[in-house]
Amino acid sequence: MSLSRDEVESFLVEEAALLDDWRLEEWRALFVPDCWYLVPGMLGDPYAPRDSNLYLIADDGHHLTERVKRLGKRTAHAESPRSRTHRMVSNVRLLGEDADGVKAQSRFITIRSSQGITDTYFGRHEYQLVADGERLLIREKRTILGMGTLRPQGRLSIIV
């Protein structure tokens, strides 16, 4: 699977648009069934094994589907009313290709506004992408937050 940087960037921008538009089920469909969505803690090695390090989010395919369902319900108290978000994706790089697919990286800024408070999250996304026929899908997405702490936000209730 040979991809250009422009193809990967278009895919990542579309992913961000789905999240900003709160089209979470369509966003989930961008992942293979046996995927991983990882947000390591901000201290320590972001590549440490999931069972030996604190991850803010470590969702396999099943748990990611459940997260999307939960966030889509009106009873999702942390997101009621829903946050308004604006994501910016930049510095897209292709890091290589192997039997597992294409490795890509991007920088991001996510601005979240909810209940009169605006928070900013920033960092980098690392992807393992695979082709499914003509479609590009995500096997793994690792979001490495650039902040030293979640303060002043204090929580992570959105999908970064």
Non-local CB neighbours of 77 within 8 Å, separated by 6+ positions: none
Mean pLDDT of the chain: 91
Nearest to 85 by CA among 152, 25, 158: 158
154 pLDDT band, cuts 50/70/90, is: low
- Reply yes or no on domain 5-145 having CATH 3.10.20.30: no
Say what the pLDDT of residue 15 is.
98
Total number of residues shown for the chain? 160
Say what the pLDDT of residue 1 is.
67
Q: How far is CA 60 from the centre of its chain?
A: 13
Q: Is the pLDDT of residue 69 over 80?
A: yes
> What is the average per-residue pLDDT within 30-41?
96
105 pLDDT band, cuts 50/70/90, is: very high
> What is the average per-residue pLDDT within 48-54?
85
CA distances in angstroms from 126 to 36, 38, 107, 136, 145, listed in the order given: 11, 10, 9, 15, 11
